[in-house]
Amino acid sequence: MDLSLTARAEGGRTVIEVAGEIDVYTAPKLREKIAALVEEGVYDLVIDLERVEFLDSTGLGVLVGGLKRVRTHDGSLSLVCTQERLLKIFRITGLTKVFDIHPDVASAI
């Protein structure tokens, strides 16, 4: 399965809607999108994972890298996720302490 990315401005932040699988093959596409936004001066991101069907360690690495990238510009990166199978990955890896994880885009903004 491929990865679909859509970015839009909302409430002073940029929301990246992600759909599909974030794995070793598709994660570079997400990394490039985050890098391009930061280069454009966008430092406050919300990544909507509601339509993500699979997330592996490469995908987690891209999210952590994105967080580090925006923080160097005093920015923020929040996640939107209600899927238990993805939330379990964040809990097991301890990333619930690193990321602000919200139930919907409105609360993330």
Please compute the mean of the pLDDT values over residues 77-91 and round it to a whole number. 97
62 in a structural domain: yes
74 lies in which domain range?
A: 1-103
Query: Rounded to whole angstroms, how far apart are CA atoms 107 and 56?
Result: 25
108 in a structural domain: no
Mean pLDDT over each residue of the chain, to the nearest integer = 97
- pTM of the predicted model as reported, rounded to 2 decimal places: 0.95
36 in a structural domain: yes
68 in a structural domain: yes
Give the CATH number of the domain where residue 10 resides: 3.30.750.24
> How many separate domains does the chain show?
1
109 in a structural domain: no
pLDDT tens-digit readout, 62-73: 999 999 999 999
